Amino acid sequence: MKILMVCMGNICRSPLAESYFKSLTAKAYPSVQIYSAGTHDYHDGSPADPRAIMLAKENNIDITNHKARYINKINLLMFDYIFSMDLNNLLFLSAHFIALKHRQYLLTSFSNKLEVVPDPYYGDINAFNQSFKVIKAGCRSLYEQLFILNK
């Protein structure tokens, strides 16, 4: 199974979602491949935001080697699921990759509380903490739906 996490620039939310979901699947499902990318090329090739790196480290996750990728540089056909952090990114994907619409979801689509992951880029560390809280809840629900309930 291949999963893609998507946000606008691929330096804050989607690298955190990618790394957190990898931490959930690594031991029990090592064949699951998880990636992240941005819908826009603002930060293509850049490292993760320092606040995201710090938050990841506080949660025993390492994203120091992350380099932002632009979605047009990867083959979306290889992904079974594509998860957007918010509605703007989901709408962007739906408009530009119509044939893959059946694979596109909000990160929280499988949780009891459908919500978007707020963009923390212009905020402080509290904004990053709030985003990561939603990311963790969305990833845990996703893990449960894909690997526990569907066994």
Give the residue numbers marked as catalytic.
Answer: 7, 13, 119
Q: What number of other Cβ atoms are within 10 A of residue 146's Cβ?
A: 19
Strand ranges for the chain from DSSP E:
2-7, 33-38, 81-84, 104-106
Q: What tokens appear for 69 in the block?
A: 């990728």
Contact 38, 45 (CB under 8 A): no
Cα distance between residue 130 and residue 99, in whole Å: 33
Of 27, 14, 142, 31, nearest in space to 84 by CA: 14
Cα distance between residue 8 and residue 119, in whole Å: 9
Cα distance between residue 151 and residue 138, in whole Å: 19
